Amino acid sequence: MNLNVISFSATLALTLANLLTTADKVMNYTGSIPPKPDQSTIICHDNNWEVINLSEYQGYRIHKKLLPLMVKMRDTALQSGINIRINSAYRTCQEQGDLRASACGIGEYNLYYKPISLCFPPTEPAGKSLHNEGLAVDLACNGYAIFEYSPCYGWIKEHSAKFHIRQHELEAWHWSTTGK
Ligand SMILES: [Zn+2]
């Protein structure tokens, strides 16, 4: 290998290294893609975990890895006059259990085994919802009572993929990185 080739190789390696660093910066800017736990890996968290992993936004606690995507989506929508609000985000397992009881009924079957499609509104058991990881949000639209018929819903459906955010199949208002 002559000197020119060595020099060219070194330059190429540097350029590649710079490109990788730039790619990392872009990822950090938009927020790294949040983890995508399936329901078997969702757990109930304690106060220590909450302090480390959650940030507050609009009065709600959201996982730090989901927050940048939500902020970016909301800010982008605002530029088009679409005012998305957050109605619910992180929930403790206690809060999830209370919601589950009011949506599905009490007793072991209703609290833990009844399919969510038979509950109103559809509500996962405590420790089975991405709300318990701070990785799901329930959205609302300023000035509209029914989210499904609001301009926010139409806007989010059209643009959400860019922000790695997907809708739950049974709930127009529930959005997460997995659609669960
Ligand atoms: Zn939800």
Cα–ligand 1 centroid distance for 168 (angstroms): 8
Cα–ligand 1 centroid distance for 86 (angstroms): 10
Cα–ligand 1 centroid distance for 136 (angstroms): 6
Are 37 and 26 in the same domain? Answer: no
Residue 54, domain CATH: 3.30.1380.10
Query: What pLDDT is stored for residue 22 in this prediction?
Result: 37
Are 35 and 24 in the same domain? Answer: no
Are 10 and 78 in the same domain? Answer: no
Cα–ligand 1 centroid distance for 26 (angstroms): 29
Cα–ligand 1 centroid distance for 70 (angstroms): 14
Are 19 and 78 in the same domain? Answer: no
At CA 85, angle to CA 149 and CA 150, rounded to 5?
10
Place of tokens 């993929």: 161
Are 12 and 72 in the same domain? Answer: no
Cα–ligand 1 centroid distance for 2 (angstroms): 63
Are 16 and 92 in the same domain? Answer: no
pLDDT band, residue 32 (cuts 50/70/90):
low
Q: What is the 3-state secondary structure (H, E, C) of 55-112?
A: EEECCEEEECCCHHHHHHHHHHHHCCCCCEEEEECCCCHHHHHHHHHHHHCCCHHHHH
Domain extent, residue 13, equals 1-30
Are 10 and 61 in the same domain? Answer: no
Question: End-to-end distance of the chain based on CA atoms, in angstroms?
Answer: 55
| Residue 34 or residue 6, greater confidence | 34
Are 157 and 69 in the same domain? Answer: yes
Query: What pLDDT is stored for residue 2 in this prediction?
Result: 54
Ligand 1 ion: Cβ-proximal residues, 5 Å cutoff:
138, 174
Are 70 and 19 in the same domain? Answer: no
Query: pLDDT per residue over 53-105, tens digit each?
Result: 999 999 999 999 999 999 999 999 999 999 999 999 999 999 999 999 999 99
DSSP 8-state class, residue 33: P
Are 17 and 88 in the same domain? Answer: no
Are 55 and 87 in the same domain? Answer: yes
Cα–ligand 1 centroid distance for 177 (angstroms): 12
Are 112 and 24 in the same domain? Answer: no
| Total domains in the fold of the chain | 2
Cα–ligand 1 centroid distance for 128 (angstroms): 12
